[in-house]
Homo-oligomer: A and B are copies of this chain.
């Protein structure tokens, strides 16, 4: 078999582990040939690639980033993109294409699959918001980094007798906020799924001070917003692509909490540090398994599918189903957290 692999979208710890696993399984066990496209779909559209043998993937398992590069180019956004992709797949004699990417990438993969290309997708997002898989690799690393930061911030918040409002990633879903907040014992967690009421939040945090505590940690997902009319909130507007910008909730929330509580409150924005660097052991195992099973699916001719974790098993799920909706934090998980937060 001849297999093409590519990574698309933002950085995510575990990308290299998938690439390595694909090459190991395909080359060593099946005698396949593997090529890697550069910079995501762009490489496929421009026929820019290199051969991937065992040496090419030596030592990359624990390394962050992606040796193939990435971009946000999507074939369907380009005139003739799908046709161009189809042409290159034929020219290169590819029997399977394994795109590794997030929601946008998987939608593109689904389109190409519907156009007849032999696609096996591998889901990737630190946000953990892809439906149809229990977990995505990158999420555990993001939660781990955020939790380590929260652990450190607690002693500082306590020493300085402050409220710290810590903004973590999560534009549409609060998974990172929920898990890191639960892991670090934050005192309130604010997620995009549930617009917050500033009065409730203030009284929750205030109750801690009334009980004699000297600090509080509020974890807020970048996409969280106050309930309509609950407080003044200035959106950061849209970027040049018309996407909503997310910079501001921690700043605005800390100003508001300071004003209402009469306690020093400061924002901390963890930012990109959550999405780069060495993956955790958990993410390396998951990424490796995804790569292995993607190759197996290709050999079984199961195209138009996505690797997914269900319990402890890796299963294949239709791409179409995977991109239907985001996986949001369900109400019961949030209630579950409330008691310990």
Taking a contact as CB atoms under 8 Å apart, the answer to whether B280 and A339 are in contact is no
Of all chain B residues, the one with the shortest Cβ separation from A20 is B340
Q: Which residues of B contact A147 (CB under 8 A)?
A: 281, 284
Q: Which residues of B contact A159 (CB under 8 A)?
A: 10-11, 65-66, 69-70, 276
The contact string, 1 if C-beta is below 8 Å from chain B, for chain A 57-84, is 0000111111001100000000000000
Q: List 12 A-B contacts (CB under 8 A).
A: A20-B185, A62-B151, A62-B184, A66-B159, A140-B282, A143-B282, A143-B285, A145-B152, A152-B273, A155-B276, A182-B288, A266-B272
Q: Which of A250-266 contact B (CB under 8 A)?
A: 266
Of all chain B residues, the one with the shortest Cβ separation from A182 is B285
A336 within 8 A of B: yes
Q: How far is the CB of A240 from chain B (nearest CB, A)?
A: 11
A156 within 8 A of B: yes
Q: Which residues of B contact A107 (CB under 8 A)?
A: none
A173 within 8 A of B: no
Q: Which residues of B contact A273 (CB under 8 A)?
A: 149, 152-153, 268, 270
A180 within 8 A of B: yes
Q: Which residues of B contact A152 (CB under 8 A)?
A: 64, 145, 272-273, 276-278
The contact string, 1 if C-beta is below 8 Å from chain B, for chain A 114-158, is 000000000000000000001100001001111111011111111
Chain A contact residues: helix, strand, loop or mixed: helix
Q: Which of A290-333 contact B (CB under 8 A)?
A: 292-293, 310-312
A164 within 8 A of B: yes
Taking a contact as CB atoms under 8 Å apart, the answer to whether A183 and B281 are in contact is yes
Taking a contact as CB atoms under 8 Å apart, the answer to whether A340 and B21 are in contact is yes
Q: Which residues of B contact A90 (CB under 8 A)?
A: none
User: Footprint of B on A, CB under 8 Å?
Assistant: 10-11, 20-21, 24-25, 28-29, 61-66, 69-70, 134-135, 140, 143-149, 151-160, 164, 179-180, 182-185, 214, 266, 268-273, 275-278, 280-282, 284-285, 288-289, 292-293, 310-312, 336, 339-340
Decide: A271 near B268, CB < 8 A? Known: A21-B340, A24-B340, A155-B11: yes
Known contacts A145-B152, A152-B278; 13 further A-B pairs (Cβ under 8 A): A10-B159, A10-B160, A61-B183, A61-B184, A62-B184, A70-B159, A70-B160, A143-B282, A146-B281, A154-B276, A180-B281, A183-B284, A289-B336
Q: Which residues of B contact A66 (CB under 8 A)?
A: 159
Taking a contact as CB atoms under 8 Å apart, the answer to whether B282 and A339 are in contact is no
Q: Which residues of B contact A156 (CB under 8 A)?
A: 10-11, 64-65, 272, 275-277
Q: Which residues of B contact A153 (CB under 8 A)?
A: 272-273, 276-277
Taking a contact as CB atoms under 8 Å apart, the answer to whether A151 and B25 are in contact is no
Q: Within the assembled complex, what's the spacing in Å between the Cα atoms of A285 and B266?
A: 26
* Most chain B beta-carbon neighbours within 10 Å: one of A70, A151, A310: A151
Q: Within the assembled complex, what's the spacing in Å between the Cα atoms of A289 and B178?
A: 12
Q: Within the assembled complex, what's the spacing in Å between the Cα atoms of A273 and B11?
A: 22
- Of all A-B residue pairs in the complex, the 5 with the closest CB atoms, nearest first, are A152-B277, A65-B155, A64-B155, A156-B276, A11-B159
Q: How far is the CB of A222 from chain B (nearest CB, A)?
A: 14
Taking a contact as CB atoms under 8 Å apart, the answer to whether A311 and B134 are in contact is yes
